[in-house]
Amino acid sequence: MQAAGLDPLESRGSPFQAAVGANRTWDNGTRHNVTLHEPLPALYEFLPAVYSAICAVGLTGNTAVIYVILRVPKMTTVTNVFILNLAVANGLFTLVLPVNITEHLLQRWPFGELLCKLVLAVDHCNIFSSIYFLATTSVDRSLVVLATTQSRHVSRRTLRGAEITGLCVWISVTIMVLPFFAFAVVYSNELQVTSCGLSFPQPERAWFKASRIYLLVLGFVVPVRTFCVLYVDLLRRLGALQLHSRALGKAKRKVTTLVLAMLAVGLLCWTPFHLASIVALTTDLPQTPLVVSIFYVITSLSYTSSCLNPFLYAFL
């Protein structure tokens, strides 16, 4: 078993990793040497500052959300239980960003294999948990609005039910990231520079591509498709109601705003990431400084979801 050909410049789980991993060639299990380029100098120097800002804002914002929900009694609602879980997931991710920053600055992995496995697992946990907790939060709010317009209550909508749902999401996400935890290793390249990456059995290239498809389908396609189908149906139902009261108009506006906010944040942050992975896996991209820089920008954009969500909560 060999490491999947990932050098220090390659962000774990990023589209850049997918690009290099997919475009390398394997011959009887042996990787050929390839020349990797550093990103554009200005961007390379700017990245640690960007990651640091995301870490500071994300950690502060999510910690504030967690504190308020746990300390203010009136904030203990079903919707806020889902928001609390999302804040925990985002906060956990921001805690490992300093490790990414250190690796980026040193151009090597200075930590052990256990931390490599944990950080890589948390990186992928962020991908899955962000979209799934956004989905559960939006589903809850949309059902409440729909029930309000129909003058009825949502059955079984309790704090206990929300806690169980949150636990189920965490268990599901944990299961989803187990393969990445299992395949994470610390390895050295020809220059004895240590890196943290994924190590797959043969055929290595097929396994690597399968991991990207796995991430794309479970971490984006399935939840986003469910997300869109739910809201299209919800808006259709609201539009079909023969009520014209101010309450209904307000409910419609609330649902529409919620739909746009959720979709905008999720799609803005994660669609470029997953599209870049698709492009990297299906085309022979040259590893030029410009291409590498674009992939870093896209990865940074996906990271921003962890610090944008606290601002989104204020409008829910």
- C-alpha–C-alpha distance, residues 299 and 28, integer Å: 32
- C-alpha–C-alpha distance, residues 244 and 240, integer Å: 11
Q: In Å, how far are 121, 257, 299 from 141, measured between CA atoms? A: 30, 11, 29
Q: What is the pTM of this model?
A: 0.80
Kind and range of the H or E element at 2? strand 2-3
- C-alpha–C-alpha distance, residues 194 and 39, integer Å: 20
* pLDDT score of 58: 92
What domains can be seen in the chain, in order of their start residue?
2-23+39-313 (1.20.1070.10)
> What letter represents residue 200's amino acid?
F
- C-alpha–C-alpha distance, residues 68 and 6, integer Å: 41
* pLDDT score of 14: 52
* pLDDT score of 11: 41
> Is there a contact between 79 and 65 (Cβ–Cβ < 8 Å)?
no
The DSSP call for residue 27 is E
- Each of the 316 residues of the chain gets a pLDDT tens digit; together they read 434 433 333 444 554 454 444 444 343 333 333 344 555 666 767 888 889 999 999 999 999 989 998 998 888 888 889 889 989 999 999 999 999 889 888 888 999 899 999 999 999 998 899 889 888 877 777 777 677 666 566 666 788 888 999 999 999 999 999 999 999 999 887 788 888 888 888 888 888 888 888 999 999 888 888 877 877 877 777 666 655 455 555 655 665 576 567 677 778 888 888 888 888 778 777 777 788 788 888 888 888 888 887 777 666 5
